[in-house]
């Protein structure tokens, strides 16, 4: 049930044009400070997972590994997608809430993304 809810929010994000997919587009949105959440398929290559995990950690963007490439592609209206960036703070927060409710032992967001004063480094998105 939570799979459908999470992926339906991903689909809503894509229809609202608040998501981008594909390695280059996701990377641009992370570097440009537009990405609030990056979702990488569980069956993506290790290099892809490492690339996005490192980029998200450096740029203080929430990161999760979820679903398959085929499912992610289906829910964004494309064929196969290994990575998706959600650019809307509210939608990203909703997706993370659903993800964390299903995975009590895992934390989706990186813990070391605050500066010395305890404020999020990326004010626009990471204050989830």
Supply the pLDDT for residue 106. Answer: 53
Q: What is the pLDDT of residues 16-54, one digit of tens each?
A: 999 999 999 999 999 999 999 999 999 999 999 999 999
Q: What is the pLDDT of residues 84-118, one digit of tens each?
A: 999 999 999 999 999 998 876 455 554 444 444 44
Supply the pLDDT for residue 103. Answer: 72
Supply the pLDDT for residue 102. Answer: 80
Q: Walk me through the domains of the chain, giving residue ranges and CATH numbers.
A: 2-102 (3.30.1330.30)
Whole-model pTM above 0.85?
A: no
Q: What is the pLDDT of residues 56-84, one digit of tens each?
A: 999 999 999 999 999 999 999 999 999 99
- Given a contact cutoff of 8 angstroms between Cβ atoms, the answer to whether 69 and 80 are in contact is yes
Supply the pLDDT for residue 123. Answer: 45
Q: Single out the residue of 92, 77, 80 nearest to residue 22, CA to CA.
A: 80
d(CA 109, CA 13): 19
Supply the pLDDT for residue 95. Answer: 93
- Whether residue 12 has pLDDT greater than 50: yes
Angle between helices 23-31 and 46-59 (to 10 degrees): 20
* Structural tokens at position 37: 């959440």
């Amino acid at each position: 049930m939570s799979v459908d809810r999470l992926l339906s929010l991903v689909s809503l994000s894509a229809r609202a044009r608040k998501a981008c997919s594909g390695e280059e587009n996701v990377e641009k949105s992370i570097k440009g400070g537009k990405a609030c959440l990056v979702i990488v398929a569980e069956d993506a290559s290790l290099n892809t997972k490492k690339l996005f995990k490192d980029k998200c950690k450096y740029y203080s963007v929430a990161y999760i590994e979820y679903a398959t490439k085929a499912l992610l592609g289906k829910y964004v209206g494309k064929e196969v997608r290994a990575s998706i960036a959600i650019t809307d703070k509210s939608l990203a927060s909703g997706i993370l809430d659903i993800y964390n409710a299903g995975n009590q032992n895992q934390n989706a967001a990186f813990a070391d993304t605050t500066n010395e004063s305890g404020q999020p480094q990326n004010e626009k998105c990471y204050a989830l």
